[in-house]
């Protein structure tokens, strides 16, 4: 595997205008040099109420993926399209797309676990009102690194991450749109726990700012975490670009120090 592999993590504050969101993202991405992979958050191109999400859903050959495919080619970089709203017949999926350096789709993952929360002000967020769930984990090879794909709420289901670990994954992507309330208490702990228990890197780009249509604050704090649970980089609550390098030696050192993956019984 290529080592180190250079990752650029984008934290954005997406609104309800897709073209405006893409314009802002493109300006952020154009300033990135020499990244092997650029990672975007969940629903990076569109946030809004349920009707806006339904209207904005596209097929995988739609404008959003086509635009990012062009960016990948121009930058000669992999792009993790954290998630888009994928329309497939009568269904809408929350789908993460991995584009290779040529802009081709190397992998796509439909979010398996759909978020639901009841906040103190009686606001209910229930993704199943809009999305259909995915039904399979997805792995991909990026520059020799075996990667697993997940999205946001999946972080609360360690069995998905254990599935990836049992298949030799070195990196897990967790693009997210955590609410401020849940993120404040659980985000850092969950991302680091998934890295520690599976002795792998976790790359977690996140949204920040206010979700339009729902008026709910999101947490931000995008991060990359190493296999010992060490925080390699972490954002605050504003849009930004983070950089991290993933070194294969860290995987070897961690797994040799505590060979927990070899001791697994179940």
Residue positions annotated with a catalytic role: 42, 111, 152
- H-helix segments, the chain: 18-30, 50-56, 63-75, 158-166, 180-182, 188-198, 248-257
Q: How far apart are the first and last CA of the chain?
A: 28
Residues 35 and 2 sit within 8 Å (Cβ to Cβ): no
What string of DSSP letters covers 104-140? -EEEEEE-SSPPEEE-TTS-EEEGGGTPPPP----EE
Residues 219 and 189 sit within 8 Å (Cβ to Cβ): no
Per the DSSP assignment, residues forming a β-bridge with 208 are 219
Angle (nearest 5°) at CA 47 between 208 and 56: 155
């Amino acid at each position: 595997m290529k080592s180190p592999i250079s990752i650029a993590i984008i934290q954005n504050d997406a609104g309800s205008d897709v073209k405006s969101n893409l314009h802002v993202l493109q300006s952020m991405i154009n300033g990135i040099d020499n990244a092997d992979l650029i990672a975007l958050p969940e629903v990076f191109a569109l946030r809004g109420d349920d009707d806006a999400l339904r209207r904005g859903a596209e097929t995988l050959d739609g404008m959003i993926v086509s635009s990012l495919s062009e960016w990948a080619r121009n930058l000669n970089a992999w792009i993790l399209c954290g998630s888009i709203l994928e329309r497939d017949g009568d269904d809408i999926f929350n789908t993460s797309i991995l584009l290779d350096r040529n802009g081709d789709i190397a992998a796509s993952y439909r979010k398996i676990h759909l978020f639901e929360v009841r906040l103190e002000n009686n606001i209910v967020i229930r993704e199943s009102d809009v999305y259909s769930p995915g039904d399979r984990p997805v792995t991909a090879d990026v520059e020799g690194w075996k990667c697993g794909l997940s999205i946001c709420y999946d972080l609360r289901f360690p069995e998905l991450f254990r599935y990836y670990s049992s298949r030799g994954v070195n990196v897990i992507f967790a693009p997210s749109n955590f609410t401020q309330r849940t993120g404040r208490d659980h985000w850092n702990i969950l991302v680091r726990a998934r890295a520690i228990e599976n002795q792998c890197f976790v790359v977690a780009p996140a949204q920040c700012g206010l979700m339009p249509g729902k008026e709910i604050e999101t947490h931000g704090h995008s991060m990359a975490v190493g296999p010992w649970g060490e925080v390699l980089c972490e954002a605050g609550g504003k849009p930004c670009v983070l950089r991290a390098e993933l070194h294969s030696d860290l995987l070897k050192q961690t797994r040799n120090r505590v060979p927990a993956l070899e001791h697994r019984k179940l």
